[in-house]
Amino acid sequence: MTLSYFLYKAAGAFVTLPGSLILLCLAASLYFLLPRRNHRGRRVSPVLFPVFLALLLFLLSLPVFAKLILMPLERGFSFDLPESEKRTAVLVLAGGVEGRRSEGGGLVFSMGAETLQRFVAGCAAAEGLQCPLIYSGGYPEKASPEEIGEMVRRTASNISFRGPLIVEGRSRTTGENFELSAPLLQNTGAERVIVVTTAYHLKRSLREAGRFLSGLEIVPLPSGLLEDEGKTTPMDFLPSPSAFLHTAAAVKEYIGSATSAIFSRPALP
């Protein structure tokens, strides 16, 4: 892991949730602990901050709020693939890898829940289109590209996927997913690429795909939604741990989209 990558991840951790809440609490603590030189100004009561923090956490943990903030990200994508005569490849973007200790003491890597959902959707698309599948995503802090490759091939065997499979196991960011997959797509001779990821992640992915995959027709394929599209019920107004996680994912995605729109090359050296 390079220093620049660590600083990039550290900055992201404290801009998004829950890091931003930690900074907010630290800032409030300094505000109430440090003496003020100007005593003429009215000081905010320390009692108000816990109330404000409780209300903020309540809002961020509501399923109805998670649905509201995710809606602009998740809506507008079809789960059906358009037919085409162009030569096609499927590109699955990883979304997390898990390591566990084996009986021999070594680490065995498995796809996280979101990655597995994306991979299964990608395999179904590749089988239906009879085209190659490219898995893109590494775990450079812990897993080598070879270990990522073994994980992907083992998972493909477990779900009985027998099609052409290519693994790119070095990328760390969405930008690098496409940057490092571009030559692999070129080697397949693909004219069209099906980008498979979770719906909330598609808009940023398509922006990065357009940057690195010029000349290819890019088709989005959502693997799933974080929040369902069913009707709102009274339960949606009760705080939920999963709703907080979904809100945090949405906030991270909005910040990531803004960052990728500002910087031309989000992939770090």
pLDDT given at position 259: 86
Domain extents in the chain: 79-225
Region 115-130: mean pLDDT is 98
Lowest mean pLDDT among 138-147, 197-206, 233-242: 138-147
pLDDT given at position 154: 98
Average pLDDT of the chain, as a whole number: 93
pLDDT given at position 180: 97
Q: Is the pLDDT of residue 139 over 80?
A: yes
Tokens (6 digits) for 155: 């998972």
Q: Is the pLDDT of residue 103 over 60?
A: yes
Region 114-122: mean pLDDT is 98
pLDDT given at position 42: 67
Identify the residue with better confidence: 241 or 269. 241
Region 202-218: mean pLDDT is 95
Axis-axis angle for helices 3-15, 241-262 (nearest 10) = 130
Cα atoms in the Cβ-side hemisphere of radius 13 Å centred on 256: 24
Q: How confident is the model at residue 33 (pLDDT cuts 50, 70, 90)?
A: confident
- Cα separations (Å) of 235 from 62, 228, 247? 9, 13, 16
pLDDT given at position 267: 42
- Helices (H) and strands (E) in the chain — how many of each? 9, 7
Handedness of CA 163, 80, 195, 93 (dihedral sign): negative
Q: How far apart are the first and last CA of the chain?
A: 11
pLDDT given at position 176: 95
pLDDT given at position 268: 41
CA dist 240 and 183 (Å) reads 43
pLDDT given at position 266: 43
pLDDT given at position 153: 98
Amino acid (one-letter) located at 80: D
Counting every residue, how long is the chain? 269
Q: How confident is the model at residue 38 (pLDDT cuts 50, 70, 90)?
A: low
Residues of the chain with pLDDT > 90, as a percent, come to 80
Topology of domain 79-225, CATH? Rossmann fold (3.40.50)
pLDDT given at position 23: 97
pLDDT tens profile 186-197: 999 999 999 999
CA dist 247 and 66 (Å) reads 5
Tell the residue number behind the tokens 């760390």, with chain if given: 172
Q: Are strands 165-168 and 133-136 parallel, antiparallel or unpaired?
A: parallel
pLDDT given at position 244: 98
CA dist 223 and 114 (Å) reads 9
Q: How confident is the model at residue 39 (pLDDT cuts 50, 70, 90)?
A: low
Q: Is the pLDDT of residue 68 over 90?
A: yes
Residues of the chain with pLDDT > 70, as a percent, come to 95
The stretches of 61-112 forming alpha helices (DSSP H) are: 63-74
Lowest mean pLDDT among 30-34, 168-172, 206-210, 216-220: 30-34
Beta sheet of 192-197, edge-to-edge order: 165-168, 133-136, 88-93, 192-197, 217-222
